[in-house]
Amino acid sequence: MVNEKDYQLVQRCLQGDESAFEELLNANKNQIFTFILRMAQNAEDAEDITQDAFVKAFRKLGSYNPEYPFITWLFRIAHNTCVDFLRAKKPQSVSLDDADSPLDVPEDGPTVEENVAFAFQTEEAERLLASLPPLYREALLLQYREDLNCADIAGILQIPEGTVKVRLFRAKAAMKAKLERLERFAKR
Amino acid sequence: MNCDKTDLAIKAMMKALPEHAPSAVFNAKVLMALGFSPKPSPLQRWLTAAAETAAVITAGALALAAFAASALIAANMHGLLHFVFAPRAALPQIKLCLLKLWLASLQIPAALGALKSLALLLPDSFLPQLAVSTVLAGFVILAVSKNTHGLSGGRI
């Protein structure tokens, strides 16, 4: 399904219309910046990465396929730019496992919903998200914050859909374990 | 473990996370990187317009001054050429002008003092008449001195 508004804007950009570039930028920059900020964990780096991502996207506008939403295409470029930047900055490999929250969780204890409420009150949500491994964090952000389905996420991350589902399952389990430990720590 | 409720709770938490915006200069940086010139701020536009207006006014004033100067030069071409080809001959006239200026400058403090005393003596209603008569006297002096200069032929 073609998004007409995005398609029209892209066409104007390809004709060199500066105002169309600025319109596309204003429509998408906050979303992309917020995602990259939560991945890079540093505002200065996030702004540099976001800037690079948009410059790359605008230079490759001719390759955009209007069959897919523009934001999905933009997220893919943003994700790749972010990965390249962070790898160049910190070349060690990213771990899939989260040593702080093993996947086996206890059966008893407060409910996750109660802990989520606690996280809201104590503004722990950002910290919890930041403590997840990057591969889990990006999957959660793209599904729960950006409302993308597994197929779109697979396209953005350039991995099979099955891998996306596995990462999402592990990400949710890791988040649940962290939320449970958060409540137990608070009760001491 | 109720997966649906867990999913919903985590989703609600993620959704509630705030959105952030890049810095105010972000757009300008991206557009400049793409080769577009940055748009000036309203203050810059005002300053540019003010500078352009000042330049136009200055150019107009210079044009007027150049016109006046060329008119003066054309009117006094004979005297100027005389000065250019025989500058020594003009020296006495220049000396006379400077002497007159110096003598006039000596009179200024006394004249101002007299004016001040007069102003204090006279009632307020006489001040406008005093101002007009001062200006008229100035014109008379100017006209008389011109005639005197013409009669003497410019020689001391």
CA-nearest residue to B34 within chain A is: A55
In this structure, is residue B152 part of a structural domain?
yes
In this structure, is residue B71 part of a structural domain?
no
Report the alpha-carbon distance of residue A89 to residue A48 in Å, rounded: 13
- Which two tokens mark A146? 């950006």
Give the A:B interface size as CB pairs under 8 Å. 88
Report the alpha-carbon distance of residue A175 to residue A154 in Å, rounded: 21
User: Which residue segment(s) compose the domain that B94 sits in?
Assistant: 86-156
In this structure, is residue B79 part of a structural domain?
no
Residue numbers of chain B with a pLDDT score lower than 50: 1, 152-156
Whether A186 and A123 have beta carbons less than 8 Å apart is answered as: no
Whether residue A58 lies within 8 A of chain B, CB to CB, comes out as yes
Task: Read off the amino acid at residue B23.
Answer: S
A window 124-183, beta carbon within 8 A of B: 125-126, 129, 140-141, 144-145, 172, 175-176, 179
Q: What is the ipTM of this complex?
A: 0.76
Instruction: Report pLDDT for B62.
Output: 86
In this structure, is residue B103 part of a structural domain?
yes
Tell me the nearest-neighbour CA distance from A30 into chain B, angstroms. Answer: 5
List, for residues A47-91, the tens digit of each pLDDT value. 999 999 999 999 999 999 888 889 999 999 999 999 999 888 765
Structural domain spans, chain A: 4-89, 112-187
State the pLDDT confidence band at A97, using cuts at 50, 70 and 90.
very low
- Could you give the number of structural domains in chain B? 1
A chain contacts of residue B15, beta-carbon cutoff 8 Å: 144-145
In this structure, is residue B94 part of a structural domain?
yes
Instruction: Determine the topology of domain A112-187 in CATH.
Output: Arc Repressor Mutant, subunit A (1.10.10)
In this structure, is residue B1 part of a structural domain?
no
CATH architecture of A4-89: Orthogonal Bundle (1.10)
In this structure, is residue B97 part of a structural domain?
yes
Q: Give the list of residues 6+ apart from residue B50 with CB closer than 8 angstroms, or none.
A: none
List, for residues B103-133, the tens digit of each pLDDT value. 888 888 888 888 787 777 766 666 677 777 8
In this structure, is residue B112 part of a structural domain?
yes
